[in-house]
Structure 1
Amino acid sequence: MKNITIADVAKHAGVSKSTVSQFLNSRFDYMSEKTKKKIEVTIEELNYQPNIVARSLKQKATFTVGVVVANILHTFSTQIIRAMEDAFHEQGYQIIVCNADDEPEKEKKYIEMLLAKQVDGIMIFPTGSNLDLYERMKQMQFPVVFVDRTINNLNIATVMLDNHMAAKLAVDQLVKKGRKRIALVTTSIIRNISPRVERLEGYKNALIAHGLPVKEEYIKSASADKISSVLEKMFRLASPPEGIVAGNDIVLNEVLKFMKERNLNIPNDAAVIGIDEVPFASFFTPPITTVAQPAAEMAKKSVELLLNQIKNKDENEFVDIYRFKPSLIERDSD
């Protein structure tokens, strides 16, 4: 069976090869709707398959980017990756998603694999431990954007939440509802992962601003499988917490499971607010108040920053940190 070429498509459609090439590269500025439709129908009739390898060699691009996510189990991770995929698709790019499971060695292998595949750029939700590799990519002027987490002194463009504000919104809401003994529970603060550290700082600052004491017995970090025992000890205190800020969606799941298993009433026994919106929040009983991240807007900015680097490789100073404001979604759990 003969391989169909651009020349065959052009001849069949009655246009030039350059016009077909412009169509394939989504350059429609000077192309009529009639010509576009004619080429589209011809491609379908001839079952033409563009030679992606040849196109990549000619344009010195693979039109593929990598996304190395720290932990795909987080609802926010899946939300923002889905939005990234849409944004990249609109620009003619495909994405390869890799899940590092918060393991630096796994992250390193994925980044090296993506570099070997000659992707045009990489989005990284950094684990924080591959500093030499991040620095090497920076020196290579390889297009990189950090998402959700930042690393000091690397000067890599970063898109993330205003985590201090996220914690403040949660504490402010609990205080408004008359709660004074407010706890923060988060997953393990390892490698100083910035969202967890910043949310803890924001929580402490908010308590101080309200004239409330910062008590270490109300501040707990643990792996997901240990959160239940952490909560058990907290609720055995002489003065157990009246409100709990769950540092992320994984913690929120564990908090809700713990309270249901102990027949603790939300919000009467303890109010609960989760940082990060979750799909079940609106129909849980009671509906859960959350602090949501603007995932779509963050994805759009991340894609914009990476494509700017890919298309303007001589301009390698893309070093700002872009922080997005969270929003409080009030329901009945506080």
Structure 2
Amino acid sequence: MKTITISDVAKYANVSKSTVSQFLNQRYDYMSEKTKQKIEAAIQELNYQPNFVARSLKQKSTFTVGVVVANILHTFSTQVIRAVEDYFHEQGFHIIVCNADDEPEKEKKYIEMLRAKQVDGIIIFPTGENLSLYEKMKRDTFPVVFMDRTIEELGIPTVMLDNHHAAGLAVDRFIESGIKRIAIITTSIIREISPRVERIEGYKKALDRHGMMVRDEYIKTADAADISNVLSELFSLEEPPKAILAANDIVLVEVLKYMKEHDMTIPDKAAVIGIDEVPFAGFFTPPITTIVQPAAEMARKAGSLLLRQIQEKDGGEKRIHRYKPVLLARQSG
């Protein structure tokens, strides 16, 4: 079968090729409704499929960006992906999503694959261990934005939460409720992943601000599979905590599972607050207090920073853009 071209569409609709091109690129400023309807009818009648490869060669852009998330299981990650896709769809771009599973080698392969596919830029939730790869992208002036995590010495534009403030909001809430024995649990900090480290720092600073002693036995880090063991250790202490700050949504799920399995009522046995909103928080029994990130706003900022680099062909802003969290007070803490 003959390949249908823009020329065929233009001839069928009795308009110029440039008018069809403007229609395909959604530039309707000086186009009448009648002309749009004629072109749309021609496209459907001829079953025209735009040639994205030819468009890419002509405009020197694939109109595609990559998103490499560290762990797609995090609610925040999926919220950001959705909002990034919405943003770039509005700009006429497609996105390719890759999940690194917090594995540096997997992240490296995905970044190299995306660059081989000639995407126009990448938003990365960095694992932190591919420094030479990040540095190469910077030397190449390849458009890149970090999300959620940062490596400050690289000077790559970054969008992330004010993690110190997030942990502080939770500690303040516990103390206002009269609770003083407060524990924090986060996933592994072996690679010094910035949100996890910063949330522990914020927890310590908040306790200090209230004149309370930091107890090392109340600070726990573990992989998700080991969190139940960590909780057993905490509740076996001579003075077990009366509150648990779950430093991300994966930890929160494990805490709630453990307490349910051991018939521990919340907040009587221990109050619970999680950083990151989860879909079930409002209807869990009791409803869970969470610290919420403005994921959609952060995603649009990351998208705009990346698009600026793509369009202006420069490194863009080098600074870290921090967003304030909000406490959603419910009954668990």
TM-score category (smaller protein): over 0.9
- The answer for unaligned runs of 5 or more in structure 2 is none
Partner of 2:250: 250
Q: Which runs of 4+ in 1 moved over 6 A?
A: none
Q: Which amino acid in structure 1 is aligned with residue 7 of structure 2? A: A
Partner of 1:198: 198
Deviation at 1:39, TM superposition (A): 1.3
Partner of 1:178: 178
Partner of 1:270: 270
Deviation at 1:37, TM superposition (A): 2.2
Partner of 1:95: 95
1:328 paired to 2:327: yes
Within 5 Å, give how 1:78-227 maps onto structure 2: 78-227=78-227
Deviation at 1:247, TM superposition (A): 0.6
In structure 2, distance between residues paired with 1:176 and 1:73: 32
For residue 173 of structure 1, give the secondary structure of its aligned residue in structure 2. Answer: helix
In structure 2, distance between residues paired with 1:190 and 1:31: 58
Q: Which amino acid in structure 2 is aligned with residue 316 of structure 1? A: G
Deviation track 1:290-326 (CA, whole Å, cap 9, x = no partner) reads 001111101111111111111110x324212111111
Within 5 Å, give how 1:284-295 maps onto structure 2: 284-295=284-295
> Conserved in 1, the CA contact under 8 Å of 2:244 and 2:270?
yes
In structure 2, distance between residues paired with 1:298 and 1:190: 26
Within 5 Å, give how 1:5-24 maps onto structure 2: 5-24=5-24
Deviation at 1:90, TM superposition (A): 1.2
In structure 1, distance between residues paired with 2:40 and 2:305: 31
Q: Which amino acid in structure 1 is aligned with residue 94 of structure 2? A: Q
Deviating more after overlay: 18-27 vs 135-144: 18-27
Deviation at 1:239, TM superposition (A): 1.0
RMSD of aligned residue pairs (Cα, Å): 0.9
For residue 101 of structure 2, give the secondary structure of its aligned residue in structure 1. Answer: coil
Paired residues in the alignment total: 333
Deviation at 1:13, TM superposition (A): 1.2
Identity of aligned residues (%): 71
- The answer for unaligned runs of 5 or more in structure 1 is none
Deviation at 1:41, TM superposition (A): 1.9
Q: Which amino acid in structure 1 is aligned with residue 26 of structure 2? A: S
> Conserved in 1, the CA contact under 8 Å of 2:305 and 2:316?
no
Deviation at 1:152, TM superposition (A): 1.8
For residue 319 of structure 1, give the secondary structure of its aligned residue in structure 2. Answer: coil
Q: Which amino acid in structure 2 is aligned with residue 176 of structure 1? A: E
For residue 290 of structure 1, give the secondary structure of its aligned residue in structure 2. Answer: strand
Deviation at 1:40, TM superposition (A): 1.6
For residue 308 of structure 1, give the secondary structure of its aligned residue in structure 2. Answer: helix
For residue 30 of structure 1, give the secondary structure of its aligned residue in structure 2. Answer: coil
In structure 1, distance between residues paired with 2:157 and 2:228: 37
In structure 2, distance between residues paired with 1:316 and 1:264: 52
Q: What TM-score, normalized by structure 1, do the two folds share?
A: 0.98
For residue 285 of structure 1, give the secondary structure of its aligned residue in structure 2. Answer: coil
Q: Which amino acid in structure 2 is aligned with residue 330 of structure 1? A: A
Q: Which amino acid in structure 2 is aligned with residue 12 of structure 1? A: Y
In structure 2, distance between residues paired with 1:29 and 1:136: 41
Partner of 1:50: 50
